[in-house]
Structure 1
Amino acid sequence: MRGYGLKMSGPVGARGLKELAREHALLPLRIFLGVTFVYAGIDKLTIGGFFSASGPDSIGETMRGVRDSSAIPALIDLALKSPGAFGYAIAFGEIAVGIGTLIGLWARLAALGGALISLSLWLTVSWGVEPYYFGNDLAYLVAWLPLLLAGAASFSVDALRASRRRRIT
């Protein structure tokens, strides 16, 4: 199991369990964020009319609805120049970030992407939510930070590649 970042040598005692827990502590967060972002991207792709400039479930209507309460209205104005393209960029970005996070491929880059998506949504869509803790984008932004700092230490393509590099050298 060494190739996946799982280091088990000898009997697992109290110290071994602590080390094992520490090594895998971010795994539940990776799974949650990865599944959530893949689901969010696919959901956007399957909502009828989401990529339209106007209409009940459209990104255009959503952006116009939050423009005046956002922290950066200019960012919304930019997105409204081509709401469909912006919607596709967010949807495919969420899917790419989610898959990268789930399999641990370029995990820090995926976490940076997730943090930037969450930051942009917090500063635009959920900025006006009061009290602030009702808006989920800030919580997602904060959740990405440990993965950005630590990467994917276990059960990841990154850990497998690192293990192979160590064996070669």
Structure 2
Amino acid sequence: MTHVDRTTATYASDDVSTDRRERTAQYALLPLRLFLGVTFVYAGLDKLFDSAFLSATGTGSIGELMSSVRNTSAVPALVDMALKSPEGFGYAMAFGELAVGLGTLLGLLARPAALGGALISLSLWLTVSWQTEPYYYGNDLAYLIAWLPLVLAGASVFSLDAAVAERRRRSR
């Protein structure tokens, strides 16, 4: 019969458990990153290919939407800026969502992309969905909160940021 040192066996078990937790933690934000990335790419493309949305007036246009929320938004000055050039604002929103979504999916400048997503969501919450009652029916606040972990943590796996960091680390 072989004697097993219980202390060593416990530490080995703790090391395996710690490694597993660390690996799991690295992948924990991946589903959120995929969801937000795909959603923002889709939202950007949907706006770019919707000629009605990119119009100053008419049913379904960005101009009509901004006009309809002007008096109920938390920051009417933000809506007034958009109304100065509704088409330009529509394109800026679409390309912004597309850039944020692609940056998030690729993990390219992941933290700035997530910050951009958070700012887009914040602006939409303060303008378009501000009047939604009860507040939890409006999805823009939930998107804003969903972006925050990615702002803080970035993209640690399956990302161009991680590949660049690894390459820099190896070249030292």
Instruction: Give the one of 52, 65, 70 matched to 1:67.
Output: 70
Determine if contact 1:48/1:57 at 8 Å carries over to the other structure.
no
Q: Which residue of 1 aligns with 2:46?
A: 43
RMSD after superposition: 1.1
Q: Which residue of 2 aligns with 1:19?
A: 22
| Offset of residue 17 of structure 1 | 2.4
- 3-state secondary structure, aligned to 1:69: coil
| Offset of residue 72 of structure 1 | 0.5
- Residue 127 (str. 1) matches residue 134 (str. 2): no
**TM-score, normalised via structure 2 length:** 0.89
Q: Which residue of 1 aligns with 2:6?
A: none
Q: Which residue of 2 aligns with 1:82?
A: 85
- 3-state secondary structure, aligned to 2:37: helix
Structure having greater relative contact order (Cα 8 Å, sep ≥ 6): 1
C-alpha distance in 1 between matches for 2:77 and 2:106 = 35
Please tell me the residue identity of whatever aligns with 1:48: S
Determine if contact 1:52/1:59 at 8 Å carries over to the other structure.
yes
Please identify runs of 4+ aligned residues in structure 1 that moved more than 6 A. Answer: none
| Offset of residue 13 of structure 1 | 4.3
* Percentage identity across paired residues of the two chains: 68
Gap regions ≥5 residues in structure 1:
1-11
Q: Which residue of 2 aligns with 1:165?
A: 168
Please tell me the residue identity of whatever aligns with 1:74: A
- Residue 31 (str. 1) matches residue 34 (str. 2): yes
Gap regions ≥5 residues in structure 2:
1-14
Higher-Rg member (1/2): 2
| Offset of residue 53 of structure 1 | 1.1
1:32-80 deviation digits (Å, cap 9, x = unpaired): 0000000000000111311111111100011111111100011101100
Instruction: Give the one of 136, 149, 161 matched to 2:152.
Output: 149
C-alpha distance in 1 between matches for 2:87 and 2:147 = 26
Please tell me the residue identity of whatever aligns with 1:23: Q
User: When the two structures are aligned, how many residues end up with a matched partner?
Assistant: 158
